[in-house]
Amino acid sequence: MLKESPELAIGLIILAMCPGGPTSNLLTHIGNGDTALCISLTAISSIVKIFTIPLMVNIAIEIYLGEGQSIQLDVASSIIKIFTVTIIPASIGMIIRAKNEAFADKTQKPVKILSSIFLVLIILAAILKERNQVIGFFSIAGPAAFMLNISGMTLGYLIPQLLNLSSQQRITISIETSIQNGTLAIAIASSPIMLNNSTMAIPAAVYSIIMFITAGIFIAVIKRRSEEKQLAA
């Protein structure tokens, strides 16, 4: 689907390798899923992907762009940078909540608003940098990003159903597998200290828009079905 643009294909792989992040935890809470399970899955995947992202991204670059390309992630430094932007902020948040829960609750809403604004600004920056080609990029990356999102959401719900997991657990895994940390993906792709390639950031920018729409629809359907069951009972 992305044969016309190897850089967009690499960008989609970067996105797919990223963990869910705080957004999946928030959406799981809104969707009445198992928040504790979601936090655990996010924490585990964040730790694992600190090490796997640099390796898999370099493999993708070799496959799509060929060996000897100037674009490469330095594995050791990338591990440190990804650790810095994922684990350290989460750890600080956990420490603050443990030390002063009232302060954590008070600042939770402003932090979420600022995080959302920051994500929007990052997406706009990536789009503006490639504004001359953005429509073409969206038409190419859009279908692939949508397929990645829907397949993750669908399989994340159906496979747990086959394993007889609870409704809350199915909702949680579906959200966790379809929500990606777009901010991290864009940072890896476009940051001057990492890949410094704004084209590779486009799939994450597109996906960040798509995932909120599909997650919103999914949560609305789940809540409606839950209300109907309660009324029937």
Domain membership flag for residue 232: no
Domain membership flag for residue 214: yes
Residue 182: closest CA among 36, 6, 28, 11: 11
pLDDT tens for 57-104 read 989 988 888 765 656 777 677 777 777 766 677 677 778 878 888 887
Would you mind telling me the total number of residues written for the chain in this entry?
233
> Can you tell me which residue has the tokens 């936090």?
39
Domain membership flag for residue 233: no
Domain enclosing residue 78, as ranges? 6-227
Residues ≥6 apart with Cβ < 8 Å to 209: 123
Q: How many domains does the chain fold into? A: 1
pLDDT above 60: residue 8: yes
Provide the mean pLDDT of the chain: 83
Domain membership flag for residue 162: yes
Domain membership flag for residue 173: yes
Note the pTM of the prediction, 2 decimals.
Answer: 0.78
Residue 71 φ/ψ region, left for φ over 0, alpha for ψ in the -120 to 50 degree band, beta for the rest: beta
Domain membership flag for residue 1: no
Residue 188: closest CA among 65, 37, 53: 53
Contact 188, 14 (CB under 8 A): yes
Residues ≥6 apart with Cβ < 8 Å to 121: none
CATH of the domain at 188: 1.20.1530.20
pLDDT of residue 198: 85
pLDDT above 90: residue 20: no
How sure is the predictor about 26, in pLDDT bands with cuts at 50, 70 and 90? confident
Please state, in angstroms and rounded to a whole number, the distance separating the CA atoms of residues 120 and 170. Answer: 29
Please state, in angstroms and rounded to a whole number, the distance separating the CA atoms of residues 168 and 38. Answer: 10
